[in-house]
């Protein structure tokens, strides 16, 4: 699989994210356990087939465990907080517990549960699990750091901040483990709270690491701006502000009015147009070049077709049998 045209190193990271999101959307629109199960299974098979050696692809078992936990919790909650009152053909008969929380407010726990109610809980759980696995697939196959290279110039700073935050989490866990282990070497008298002993070295580590990363980026030229007039800078900022405001107002109006109004829609569309102009204008002012820029290739187009087919079938209800 390594050298085929679909190998991860040759496909664009955005392709996997699009496919993952399409699978997640399909899952959220579907109510058939079999379809949901298939989406989850397809996601995991994709990871197993295409993953490479990077650290990101080792997270499969984490997503599987999370998905299983979500299904289990959903079903368990349905059994505990059972709202049905004595169904005709109970699947499971449990004793009922009635709690009186306040005057006139009571809560029923357990009790008999029907196959139908059980199935709907299972479907809800499976839907969430399928979404988790679809997004997990994208995250495992498309390293967020690589995706960073493809973000437009205007969003580069934000994307950098996000990717640093993503990378900080494993470092935090590593230093927490180290400090916890080391703390076993020195005891603590009763009057002393244990928390500062754990938190102070870990925080110090994290802050040191973030500062040294920021220093490194700055020392290597991050944040350097091209030659641009103050006027151009002002216009760019104004466009950005206008874009955000118009998108926010447009979407708000669209959501509060029951029927789609031409005015609301045009405000939102104008906002999007401003956003595109803003991104283009910011890119003009940046110096940055992209080495090893990834272009879409045949493998990407194959996956695009798959993604489009999936979305069409999801919205036209082909998968709702």
Partner 1 sequence: MITLRDLTFSYLKPDGTPVTETPQLNRVNLEVAEGEFVLVCGPTGSGKSTLLKTLNGLAPRFTGGLLSGEVILDGKDLTGKEPHDFAHLVGFVNQQPEGFFVTDTVIDEIVYGAEQLGMPVAEIDDRIKPIIEILNIGDLLYRPLATLSGGQQQRVAIAAALVAGQKILLLDEPTSALDFAGATEVLSSLKKLAHESGVTILLAEHRISRVIAEVDSVLVVHGDGSVTKGDPATQFNDARFAPPIIQLGAMLGWKPLSISTEDAAARWAKQSPDFQEKKLHEPGKKILEIDSLKVTFGNVAAVSATNLDLYANQVTAIMGENGSGKTSLCWAIQGLGERSAGTVLLDGQDTAELARDARLDLVAMIPQRAADLLFLHSLADELKESDTFAQVEPGTTANLFAQLAGRIDTSIHPRDLSAGQQLALVLAIQLAKQAKVLILDEPTRGLDYAAKRALAKQLQLLRSPERTIVLASHDVEFVAEVADRVIKLQAGQIVADQSPIEALGWKSQLPSQLAQISRADGLVSIEQVLA
Around 77, how many Cα atoms within 13 Å sit in the side-chain half-sphere? 11
Neighbours of 65 (CB within 10 A): 10
Q: Give the nearest distance from C-beta 44 to partner 1 in angstroms.
A: 23
Q: Which is nearer to partner 1, 97 or 203 (CB)?
A: 203
Q: Which is nearer to partner 1, 45 or 207 (CB)?
A: 207
Q: Distance between alpha carbon 177 and the CA centroid of its chain, in Å?
A: 26
Q: Give the nearest distance from C-beta 226 to partner 1 in angstroms.
A: 7
Structure tokens of 271? 């906002």
Q: Give the nearest distance from C-beta 6 to partner 1 in angstroms.
A: 19
Distances (CA, A) of 141 to 30, 131, 132: 24, 16, 14
Q: Which is nearer to partner 1, 285 or 299 (CB)?
A: 285
Q: Give the nearest distance from C-beta 145 to partner 1 in angstroms.
A: 5
Q: Which is nearer to partner 1, 178 or 234 (CB)?
A: 178
Q: Give the nearest distance from C-beta 255 to partner 1 in angstroms.
A: 39
Q: Distance between alpha carbon 22 and the CA centroid of its chain, in Å?
A: 13
Q: Give the nearest distance from C-beta 132 to partner 1 in angstroms.
A: 24
Q: Alpha-carbon distance 185 to 284, whole Å?
A: 56
Q: Which is nearer to partner 1, 148 or 277 (CB)?
A: 148
Q: Give the nearest distance from C-beta 15 to partner 1 in angstroms.
A: 19
Structure tokens of 240? 């950005």
Around 101, how many Cα atoms within 13 Å sit in the side-chain half-sphere? 5
Q: Which is nearer to partner 1, 34 or 215 (CB)?
A: 215
Q: Which is nearer to partner 1, 230 or 293 (CB)?
A: 293
Report residue 192: phi and psi, to 5°. Answer: -95, 130
Chain residues binding partner 1 by CB under 8 A are 53-55, 143, 145, 149, 178-179, 181-189, 191-192, 196-198, 200-201, 204, 208-209, 211-224, 226, 286-293
Q: Which is nearer to partner 1, 177 or 257 (CB)?
A: 177
Q: Give the nearest distance from C-beta 139 to partner 1 in angstroms.
A: 14
Q: Which is nearer to partner 1, 230 or 290 (CB)?
A: 290
Q: Give the nearest distance from C-beta 190 to partner 1 in angstroms.
A: 9
């Amino acid at each position: 699989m390594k050298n085929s045209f679909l190998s991860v190193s040759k496909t664009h990271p955005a392709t996997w994210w699009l496919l993952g999101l399409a699978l997640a959307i399909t899952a959220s629109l579907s109510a058939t356990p079999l379809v949901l199960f298939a989406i989850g299974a397809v996601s995991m098979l994709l990871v197993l087939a295409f993953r490479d050696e990077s650290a990101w692809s080792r997270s499969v078992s984490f997503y599987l465990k999370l998905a299983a936990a979500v299904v289990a919790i959903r079903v368990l909650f349905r059994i505990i907080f059972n709202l049905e009152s004595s169904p005709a053909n109970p699947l499971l008969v449990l004793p009922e517990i009635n709690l009186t929380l306040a005057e006139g407010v009571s809560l029923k726990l357990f009790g008999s549960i029907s196959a139908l109610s059980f199935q709907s809980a299972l479907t809800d759980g499976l839907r969430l699990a399928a979404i988790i696995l679809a997004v997990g697939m994208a995250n495992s196959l498309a390293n967020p750091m690589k995706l960073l290279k493809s973000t437009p110039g205007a969003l580069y700073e934000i994307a950098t901040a996000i990717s640093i935050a993503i990378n900080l989490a494993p470092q935090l866990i590593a230093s927490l483990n180290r400090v916890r282990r080391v703390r076993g070497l020195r005891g603590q008298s009763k009057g002393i709270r244990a928390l500062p002993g754990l938190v102070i070295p870990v925080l110090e580590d994290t802050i040191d690491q973030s500062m040294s990363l920021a220093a490194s980026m700055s020392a290597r030229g991050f944040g350097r701006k091209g030659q641009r007039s103050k006027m151009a800078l002002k216009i760019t900022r104004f466009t950005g502000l206008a874009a955000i405001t118009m998108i926010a107002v447009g979407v708000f109006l669209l959501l509060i009015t029951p029927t789609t109004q031409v005015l609301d829609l045009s405000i939102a569309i104008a906002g999007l147009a401003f956003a595109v102009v803003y991104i283009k204008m910011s890119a003009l002012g940046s110096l940055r070049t992209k080495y090893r820029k990834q272009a879409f290739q045949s493998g990407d187009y194959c996956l695009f077709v798959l993604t489009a087919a999936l979305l069409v079938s999801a919205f036209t209800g082909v998968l709702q049998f």
